[in-house]
Structure 1
Amino acid sequence: MERREQPDLLQVEFAGSLVKGKQYTTQAGEVMRGTLRPITGAEEQSVSGVRLAGDGGLLFEPAAAQPEGSTVELRFALDQPTVSPAVLITSSGVTLGVHHLNLMLWARGEWHGWPGGEDVFGVDTHHTLSVRIIRSDEGSVQMEARLDGRDMGYLEFGPVSDQALFSFGSDFEGASGLVGEVHGVRVAVASSEWRWQPTTPVIDVETELTATEAADLAGLHPANYQNVSPSDSPAAIIHKASLLRPTPEQAVWQQEGLTAFIHFGINAFYDQEWGHGTEDPGRFLPSDIDPDAWVRVLRDAGFRTTVITLKHHDGFCLWPSRYTDHSVKASSWASGGGDIARLFVEAAHRYGMKVGFYLSPADSNAELQGTFGNGSQRSPRTIPTLTADDDRAGQELQTFEYHATDYGALFLNTLYEILTEYGTVHEVWFDGAKATQALPNTTTTPRSTT
């Protein structure tokens, strides 16, 4: 009979949100059957994982105990050789750690060197440690370990306690902590296969530049990107990678952690994912709508930014745009004065949530009206282009000059509306889809939306 792989209890690479004093919130694709939380509050989430400074770690309490043992995997990096032993993994009464650059085992009340575990770690090197722990009915333990694709052998000892908790980077109280970064943690049943181990040992790559390479690369400076050519050696590529720096805007965005997406619009009233531009705005009749609850729940779950879809590819606008009748203003909801964008932004401000708007450059309704995908050529346009009964007439508006198609001008005018009438907008999403007509279409978007 074919063995069926059992589901993981935990598989997290920290794409979600780790809030001090609260449990970790997973992102799509991650698994957490139980609770994972910081132990002391000194832990700091980074772009690539969780930073530990020796006084904290991560504690996982599974929803169901694993009396037969478990498979545990840890991805991490050390900042420096440890002066005193630091805990890597504690599981099923067994603790593995690192001392200097050696793999260690806690047994019988003291630390012991793992056989063959001398100088197996590197500083600023990504490591993957995998452990399979199988418990007998009498409480003794058989342990198998693998590090970076290298088989570290078996050990048998015991009996030990049947503690059902798991810690990573420190003991259960946050002591004997690791100085470095945890990139991923995984817990599964004892019969589970290794998931993160390479099939072959990691081979060291020569990182020293030749004299010629050093001279050729001497003129490079830290920047947002570096050019890599097929002739570059691994050492040259590593050197170029070390010079990569995010822009200030990218750095801020990376530190945001979790960003939520809210998809809501006319399609909710047609029970369909994607509209066609033919939907009747009169059917947009939300009852008991509560953007305040949307934002509050997301805030409490650890989200810092929320993006709402103000217009999807069907073209229906959730704000009363001056440039189309295919919007909330054509609905009897709120007597034609409804504005989802306004309600959402007000709720976001109440809860300290950063605001993001999604505005699709595609527009099926505009295509039906003969604007999107009509093959028009670019021509000079002033944005905003005031309408015949524009309520902004007479105001001193900041204007922009673009060469745009018919639809490009329409799109830029709607973008101008949502970026100038709802306060600070931290993020804008542009998605898109092709017109169904054969004629080409181009959409002009500004180089900066801030």
Structure 2
Amino acid sequence: MVSMIDATLIPWILAGVPLLGAALSPAWWAHPHRLMTWSVGVCAVSLASVAVFAGALTAPPEGLLLLFLLPLAAGVSLLGQPHHLDHRASWVLTLVALSLGLGALASQPVTAKLFLIAIHGFVIVLLYRHHTPLWPISWWGLGAYTLGALCLVLTLVAAPPLSSMAALLACTILLPVVPFHDGHLTALTRLPGNLPSFMVLLFPALGLHALAPLAPTLPDPVVWVMSVLALAGAIYGAIKALAQSRVRLLLAYSSLSFFSMLWWCVVTTRTATPRAALFVGAVGLVMCGLLLAWQIIRTRYGDDVDPQAISGLASTMPQYAVLLSLLALAAMGLPPFGVFAGFMGLLLSSTAAFSTGIIVLVCAWLASSWYILDLVQRLLFGTRRTDLRYADLLQSELVALIIVVLTLLALGVTPISLFGSDQTTATTGVHSEPAGTNPGSLVWNR
């Protein structure tokens, strides 16, 4: 039956399932529990539709893994939210964002850019409409996504090398790297409800998908500039995360550091393989889980709760303590979780010898272990406060965190060949190029 469907219609089917679910959501608007159940069910149907139609799609260089992880992350982010009237809009908006994301990942290049432009406009409107006195409008964040949208429009109307430069700049906003990271920080700290825990995977996945066909064409000067920015971003994100007292900012800067490591590996090898998709998916998913874990604390003790005021959860919330500890181990890059598998795969496939760049990445990695472990230690251990009412995980919260942990474990032990075929040689990991050909001359110097 799948073979009877025109391949050009499949991206529209994948995007149409969550969009139709969002359109029908007002039927359950007065009943938050039913609306939550409906939204999670739509994500499950979207995941099933991806599984059905993925074989008929042309696999991009980074493989199809991210196409499967998007509906999974959307459903998990919904499950981890409290059933409150104030969160209904964010549930429906999650389905809209999922629709645009699936359309961008599954479509042909021109149509995918239209989906990306729509996503930028979607986020700009959300950031403008959902600011609060506690979190005023971040004009830098709005400006970053506006610049990204303009760059995508430019790729549709301009010729190389201008269109290639604009495409690369748009990638630096979706897959954050210094100094174009303000949009990423703003999205993870200012968007309402469960949207930050979904966007932390959605945007980097779209950025890698856009970067994958561009990476082999990067000329040497651009590779040098981007590698320097990537190393600077890895250290900058780690240092800023060490200095944060707000958990969401800590996780935002931590993810910036991780994604900067990915940038260095991609630009130095001039290729984005399924290993890169595995790393992006694992980092995005572990940050999704940590944001959900912090949302559970915010639900119980208020949105402006100070993490230093909460302690002793290991004995009072044992289920939460176990799952948070596992998420921390995954975020620290320890085996057998997906972050470790992705990062080791990127380093082992890199053509760069032991160099200053690898030393910088390892230092940033060690710093991430420090601030993630410090955050978890402050929450789980210490004195139990008698003035706090402790309540362990609700069933939906428990299921959400278990799904994240099991998925990270599966990503860490699953053979990379199941995620797609690397466009690299088995011995050196170098993308094959015709002898004497400068990759940058293919597009940038046309």
Structure showing the higher strand proportion among its residues: 1
* Bigger radius of gyration: 1
Greater RCO (Cα-Cα under 8 Å, separation 6 or more): 2
